[in-house]
Structure 1
Amino acid sequence: MRTAWEIDGTTWRLRLRLDPEDTLTATGQDGRAIELLTDRCRIELPEPAGGVHPDLRALAAWLILQPWAGRRVSFDQPVSSYFAEAIQAGWGVVAGPVDPGLAPRAAGPVAGLSYSGGYDSLAVSLMLPPETPHLFFRRVPHPRVPNRATHVKFDVAQRLVEEAGGRGRRVAVVRSDLEYLTLPFPMLPTWPAFAIGLTLLADRLDLGAIAFGTVLESRFLHNGRRFSRDGVSAWAQPFAAAGLPMLRPAAGMTEVLTLGLAAGSDLGDLARSCLLGTNQSPCLACVKCLRKELILAALRRGPLPAELLRRIPATHRVARELLDGGPPFYFQDMLEYGLARARVDGTFLAALRDRLSPTIAGTAWAEHYYPPTLDLEVPPPWRPTIARFVADRIGLMTADEVTTVQTWDAASRPALANVLR
């Protein structure tokens, strides 16, 4: 794979050139098959990037092309040996050309937040100083690829994010059509690609870390299905090599914590995880809305919204996937937590609650912070700040609760296995 950046003011255009060993098909997020549809995309920054370290330039390209890279990748400027080694270590891909005399980029003192406007990234915003740069990734049409997701309202999320900028946050928007490279759409080629704007602006903003809203379920529990070892993500290596270590403080928090923190904040009314609704409300008819509203109802010890239950009856596809599927369920720990506390009698969720009843009582661990996260996902310059926030606002898990996380296996939990025999 070969790359070429063309820069025109605040617009960066990337062109990919495949080598014979490269492929048009690859494995994307969550193991799904993806296809490369076109060879170019653009990123429109909110301000000129100025001089950009070659490793940052290469990292931005790698965020886009990684799934389709073969045995080697050739960037359009020589990179440091440190960055090339990170690509080799993470994916076994030979990166070049390498300039042995190029010093690695030095990390700055500022953290930037990849801000989606959802509950998880808002929770991270609360953990960082108000002057933290918040950069929102806005999908825009591609000149060569049709929009296959006209039902997704990307403009709604942007308006809500921009309103957050009027409430004391430092918010900017990067516009890009890079998702159109990937079939099915909408899907990023790599999960950290949301941070491509912060990557290109890192020198301009003097960044020394990029913060993400990754939660415990995504980082440590394979989306609530089973625990994974406390290793280092392959993506952490090239970010660190480019002087931008990942900062993922929410990786110690379940969605119970991020929703609770976000909903009770000054931006709580603007938080939105659903991209199918309007300015006024989420769609209340998708699986994400069901999970979020179940957790919020659990925090209130109340019922789910009547409108959601009207739009998702027992015959709805989302309901049938729960009633007829699993275990393991997607974000099963959050299902168990919510069903143990929300008032679901008289709804289709009552049947699911009764099915999971042997295990839903022991879910209080989800209200506390997973301690290893502070060492694994919070770089040292930000560790004292995050640790103080956790101590003041959340509290750490007990040793028994840590064991619950580290032995989590939704498919084979003993009590659940007994009831399903």
Structure 2
Amino acid sequence: MLEADSRLVPEYLREASYEYLGSAPLHVRRYTSPEFFRLEVERMWPRVWQFACREEEILEPGDVVVYDNAGVSLLITRQKDGTIRAFHNVCLHRGRKLRTRSGWVGDFRCPFHGFTWEVDGRLKEIPCAWDFPHLDPQRMQLPEAKVGVWAGFVFVNVDGKAEPLHEWLAPLPAHFARWNLEDCVTSVWVGKVIPANWKATAEAFMEAWHSVVTHPQILPFTGDANSRYDIYGDHVNRAITPFGTLSPHLAGKGHDDQFVVDSIMKFGARAAAVGAPKLPPGLGAREFLAAANRARYASDTGFDFENATDSELLDAYTYNVFPNLAPWGGFTPNIVYRWRPWPDQDRTLMEVRILARRHKDKPPPKPVPMRMLSEAEPWTDAPELGSLASVFEQDMANLPFLQEGMKVSANGRIELGNYQEIRIRHFHRTLDRYLSE
């Protein structure tokens, strides 16, 4: 239960009737209120594990990634001994950010007065040191955040009391053990600031049944409303959306498996060209498409996928890790979503990565930097996304009007489905736990 101090917690957060895995509504002010956003920044973001970068971004000692989110700025750095550490990106002299860009450094030198720290956070130099006899080098060590690594993802947490990363992620590591995302490299990375709340943006990817209206072009090969949803503890949930099958919305309209194959080949996102894609007698669309992917992935990577299931080669295993990470499982090119408030409750930096598997007999490719789209550029201006770009553009077209609509809502209620939107309910139940403690 959230505390009843009205100076800190607005009334709509203190209503005891909200049971987020039941059928109660949410309030729109969760998405539109500056006060609610302030509570998130003060009570939730400083206590959660956050995906900051991939290991391939910081391969060499001195490589550094600047990670900014919700009132925190960190320097994620590879150390000489190969470990990864994270320091608060603030000069301890006058408070300027030490760095504004990722890259390589020999040390951290403040551009204001030149106070300098070693890459391991130890104080290195104070200009005019005679004027600072009161400063103890031990006290001038850069403050540090906790770091955890899983499957090539580097996480940070500024709460010194935070539970270990593997406990936070459970059972995710066990689920992903077969898929070896640590052997993947970022091959596509596109970001754009969206004029909508970060939660509303993330929630657009927590259910698949919006496809019937938002993505009609994928219905011939996507079982949107037949997705399976699973909840695991506080921090992890999952959707499995089947591909290579008709949407239930098209059932009874005379479409056969050949229609499914022809449609997915035309779309071009889930399978490669396999010559003349005519189904042999007795072979279903899913079996055919999975076999095509099995052969293509083996050719692309040098690995054997004979033990991979058809589902692992076709379907969207979309996991959510609270609060703002969504990695895809399976053996398909793995998509990774991240959402960050940018900078407040009305705007979100949405990032889409695609992880490509390394070839077992070749050096790993270099990761790509993020392409940042301007507000005027559509997602289709990022050709590296392929046919997915049009899907993201359709999703993003909804979100500004969603944010505007919630701000002018007459009853202030968000009514969620009991099953297909259960991951959204789960998300808010976990969020409230942090806001109430």
TM-score in same-fold range (> 0.5): no
Structure in which a larger fraction of residues adopt helix: 1
Greater relative contact order (Cα 8 A, min sep 6): structure 1 or 2?
2
Q: Who wins on radius of gyration, i.e. which is larger?
A: 2
Name the TM-score, length of structure 2 as normaliser: 0.23
